[in-house]
Amino acid sequence: MLDNFISIHDLTLYQFSKILDISREIKDNPHRFRNKLKGKILAMIFQKPSLRTRMTFEVGMLQLGGEAVYLSPSDIQIGTRETV
């Protein structure tokens, strides 16, 4: 399984299928995964405001024991302050 990816196109069909299997397992048995992401932090950067996506990721991280940080476009000013 990949540690990270940028695009769904980075996944093989097998990897995509495994992600769906794990998703079902988490949904069916949330208590087993309550602390799976303890000590992990998700940093979120969106080019455009996306409240539903942001909240979905934040809630998911909290439910799995992790934390989430959101940086808005005005916080980071892509292309203005530092190169990415």
Q: Which residues contact 84 (CB under 8 A, 6 or more apart)?
A: 78
* pLDDT at residue 2 in the model: 64
Give the C-alpha separation, 13 to 58, whole Å. Answer: 27
Give the C-alpha separation, 75 to 81, whole Å. Answer: 10
Domain ranges of the chain: 1-33, 34-84
Say if residues 33 and 61 touch (Cβ distance below 8 Å).
no
Positive or negative, the CA dihedral 18, 33, 37, 49 is positive
pLDDT, tens digit, for every residue of 47-82? 888 899 999 999 999 999 999 999 887 777 766 656
* pLDDT at residue 6 in the model: 77
